[in-house]
Amino acid sequence: MIKKFVTVAAVAIFTLAAAPAHAGLVYIGTYPGNDNASGNNNGANNDIHDEILAYNGDTTVEYLAKINICEDDVQQMLICANPQVPENGAVSASSFDLINNGTSGSVEFDLTGTGYGLEYVALKGATSFALYYWDMDPSVGVFLWDLAGVLVNNGGQTPDLSHISFYGGDYTPPNEVPLPAAAWLMIVGLGGLGFAGRRKAA
DSSP 154: T
Give the 3-state secondary structure of residue 8.
Answer: helix
What single DSSP character describes residue 6? Answer: H
2 assigned to some structural domain: no
| Closest listed residue to residue 86, CA positions, set 113, 103, 120, 109 | 109
Q: Is pLDDT larger for residue 104 or for residue 53?
A: 104
Report yes or no on 164 lying in a domain.
Answer: yes
Is the pLDDT score of 127 beyond 50?
yes
- What is the pLDDT at residue 185? 66
Q: Is residue 198 part of a domain?
A: no
Per-residue pLDDT reduced to its tens digit, 30-83: 998 888 876 544 445 567 878 888 888 888 889 999 999 987 665 555 567 678
Q: What HEC string does 39-72 produce?
A: CCCCCCCEEHHHHHHHHHCCCCCEEEEEEEECCC
- Express each pLDDT in 144-160 by its tens digit: 999 999 999 988 999 99
Tally the domains of the chain.
1
Q: Is residue 113 over pLDDT 70?
A: yes
Query: Burial level of 82, CB count in 10 A (0-12/13-18/19+)?
Result: exposed
**pTM (predicted TM-score):** 0.73
Cβ atoms of residues 133 and 28 within 8 Å: yes
User: Is residue 88 in some structural domain?
Assistant: yes
Q: Is residue 150 part of a domain?
A: yes
Cα-based angle 9, 11, 12 (whole degrees, multiple of 5): 65
Lowest average pLDDT, out of 28-32, 86-90, 177-181, goes to 177-181
The mean predicted confidence, pLDDT, of the chain is 79
Containing domain of residue 53, as a range? 23-170
What pLDDT shows up at residue 58? 82
**pLDDT band at residue 9 under the 50/70/90 scheme:** very low
Query: Is 102 within the bounds of a domain?
Result: yes
Answer yes or no: is 1 within a domain.
Answer: no
In a domain, 196, yes or no: no
- For the beta sheet containing 116-125, the strands, ordered from the edge strand earlier in sequence to the opposite edge, are 25-32, 128-134, 116-125, 163-170, 62-69, 84-88
